[in-house]
Structure 1
């Protein structure tokens, strides 16, 4: 395990704003993909809907209590929008502090390429979200957050593992 200082990028770049709008529109127009969604009590269910040289789109379902754990997106900018239900997001800021908010259906959040967060369903109902990343994800780093605000790297996952 490697300890590191938090260097999350919480800025909203033009790219992340564009990705957030794409995710919001896809979440709003869920008739095209909603039939593909599954609920899995063993863990979050996810499926990649689209990938090209520019970006990729994923849909994820969340039962109550399911979460991502702290992670980054391996250098990709991204965004997610809630299509159904609500999701709590916890972001690690560059100064080591933590920010928390809840996104409801119809809301989206974009983020830069060095962003570290945890997303979870803390409600009593399922949730569904749309995620857009640019460029296409190649790695995800997983972290644990120490009581002092330090991130401890747990592992790096390659895209072949998803």
Structure 2
């Protein structure tokens, strides 16, 4: 330790409350949004009473809003899917609360089990599907709040090689 310095801290810095940053009421960073999702996920009483299932479509419920962000709860019956989409100008955190979901991107498939998180930036294109035989529940945090969800062509159509001699897929008009 250099004793020549005129600057020394005496005692425990944490005992000087005026030097500590106040706790934020709302998240402001990616890490804080991911932490908010983990906090809600860990407290089943915060989300379980709101879970419902709909045989015709994914079910969703907005759990919370804050300055510029939204938290959504979604339920997925086997076979239900989001369709290939992005989230416009919103960044997001997807957290699986119960069951398994499959995320499909141009890079491939990823199975997300309970506790798994995915963090994504604006323009990230993916599809989320319940490929399992059991219902699933997920939590989604969007910042800024979700205002659009543009749909995209299927991944198969984007990735499939096109041959001039191959028959056209049903519903596809050859160029």
The SS at the match of 1:58 is: strand
Name the residue aligned to 2:79: 65
Deviation at 1:143, TM superposition (A): 1.0
The counterpart of 2:90, out of the listed 76, 95, 101, is 76
Q: How many residues align?
A: 132
- Classify 1:67/1:148 alpha carbon distance in 2 versus 1 (closer, same or farther; 3 Å): closer
> Over aligned residues, Cα RMSD in angstroms?
1.9
Highest RCO, 1 vs 2 (Cα 8 Å, sep ≥ 6):
1
Name the residue aligned to 2:10: none
1:55/1:135 contact within 8 Å kept: yes
Deviation at 1:54, TM superposition (A): 2.6
The SS at the match of 1:41 is: coil
Tell me the TM-score normalized by structure 2: 0.69
The counterpart of 1:39, out of the listed 53, 66, 82, is 53
1-structure distance, mates of 2:98, 2:140: 13
Aligned pairs for 1:81-100 within 5 A? 81-92=95-106, 98-100=107-109
Q: What do residues 99-121 of structure 1 show as CA deviations (whole Å, max 9, x unaligned)?
A: 21011101111111110100010
Structure 1 unaligned segments of length 5 or more: list them: 1-13, 93-97, 151-162
2-structure distance, mates of 1:57, 1:71: 18
2-structure distance, mates of 1:79, 1:21: 10
Deviation at 1:50, TM superposition (A): 1.2
Q: Which has the larger radius of gyration?
A: 2
1-structure distance, mates of 2:139, 2:145: 15
Deviation at 1:17, TM superposition (A): 4.3
Name the residue aligned to 2:4: none
Name the residue aligned to 1:125: 134
Structure 2 unaligned segments of length 5 or more: list them: 1-27, 161-175
Aligned pairs for 1:7-26 within 5 A? 15-26=29-40
Q: Which has the higher strand share?
A: 1
